[in-house]
Amino acid sequence: MKRLFSPLIAAAALLLAPISQAQTFTFTAIPDQDETQLQTRFGKIAQYLSTELGVEVNYIPVKSYAAAVTAFRNDQVQLAWFGGLSGVQARLRVPGSEAIAQGYEDQFFQTYFIAHHSSGLKATEQLEDSLKGHSFTFGSKGSTSGRLMPEFHLRQQFNQSPEEIFSRVGFSGDHSRTIALVQSGAYEIGAVNFKVWERELASGNIDPNQVSVIWATPTYPDYQWTIRGDVDQRWGAGFQQRVQQALLSLQDPELLNAFPRSRFVKASNADFEPVAVVARSIGLID
């Protein structure tokens, strides 16, 4: 009986072992740029992570920053590429979740204020009264670089809300759209992620005769990968660390340039406390 029982246990173990691995590990990303670019970038990231982790990995797009946070909260995704603010919001809603990696450049992020040349605005080292009375567009309402930090600096400089400073205030939805709106003259000024601006400029998608940078914020921490705290229970001990290591080990120039980032480095929740402080100061989180 003993000899018969042992093989049965071994067979059962082989059947049960793959169950946790059979689950699809799913991630999303804030829609900060054109959807086609995001699908291309993160589809390749899904393939890379699947190979590195030995599990099926799937990227699902979302329509808004808020939808990315909701998907993370509802466990529709277990990993997300968040901005600074959306990452703070997500981790507040999912206790135990951790920021595990960020682009090297994300430690020193900036927002550019850009202006259509018809505004007559020129590059300055600080925000000046000449901005007042013009039309202005942020990016997404939940964007760190497209809304949180530019609004913080505007309020700090002028002690007024954006609606009091500008003749008209809008929200474009993403950084690529902000550039397009300002370049077309639909808005005179816009706040844009500096990495998106630099990439679009290098790609020839910006006409410097129509739009240019007039001010840059001081640096702040921004984008990061955040993972739910229960992944080890579902994919096995050490899975969170394996995901982190896979991101830190990413060296494919094509994938990194698509972000664009030079490499990924370790991140922690504490790195984004300055973002949380600013968000509380202007009422975006409790």
Give the phi and the psi of residue 254 in degrees, each rounded to 5.
-65, -45
- Distance (Å, rounded) from C-alpha 136 to C-alpha 121? 13
Cα atoms in the 13 Å half-sphere on the side-chain side of 226: 34
In this prediction, residues 86-115 reach a mean pLDDT of: 97
- Distance (Å, rounded) from C-alpha 52 to C-alpha 249? 10
Cα R_g (the chain), whole angstroms: 22
pLDDT tier for residue 188 given thresholds of 50, 70 and 90: very high
In this prediction, residues 96-111 reach a mean pLDDT of: 97
CA distances from 35 to 39, 137, 145, 196 (A): 6, 20, 18, 14
Neighbours of 120 (CB within 10 A): 10
Average pLDDT across the chain, whole number: 92
Give the phi and the psi of residue 213 in degrees, each rounded to 5.
-80, 130
∠ CA(134), CA(212), CA(272), 5° rounding?
85
Predicted pLDDT at 37: 82
- Quick: pLDDT tens for 46-58: 999 999 999 999 9
- Which candidate, 56, 61, 65, 58, places its Cα nearest to that of 23? 56
- Quick: pLDDT tens for 18-33: 444 569 999 999 998 7
- Quick: pLDDT tens for 238-260: 999 999 999 999 999 999 988 88
Tokens standing for 40? Answer: 């291309």
**What amino acid occupies position 57?**
V
Q: Give one DSSP letter per residue of the chain, joined into a string.
A: -HHHHHHHHHHHHHHHTHHHHHSPEEEEE---S-HHHHHHHHHHHHHHHHHHHTS-EEE---SSHHHHHHHHHTTS-SEEEE-HHHHHHHHHHSTT-EEEEEEGGGGGB-EEEEEEGGG-----SS--GGGTTSEEEES-TT-IIIIIHHHHHHHHHHSS-HHHHSSEEEE-SSHHHHHHHHHHTSSSEEEEEHHHHHHHHHTT---TTTEEEEEEPPPB---EEEE-TTHHHHH-TTHHHHHHHHHHT---HHHHHHTT-S-EEE--GGGGHHHHHHHHHTTS--
- Distance (Å, rounded) from C-alpha 152 to C-alpha 227? 28
Predicted pLDDT at 260: 87
- Distance (Å, rounded) from C-alpha 35 to C-alpha 28? 12
Evaluate if residue 17 carries a pLDDT over 60.
Answer: no
Evaluate if residue 265 carries a pLDDT over 80.
Answer: yes
Domains and CATH numbers, the chain: 17-107+221-281 (3.40.190.10), 110-216 (3.40.190.10)
**What amino acid occupies position 32?**
D
CA distances from 110 to 6, 51, 255, 260 (A): 62, 33, 22, 14
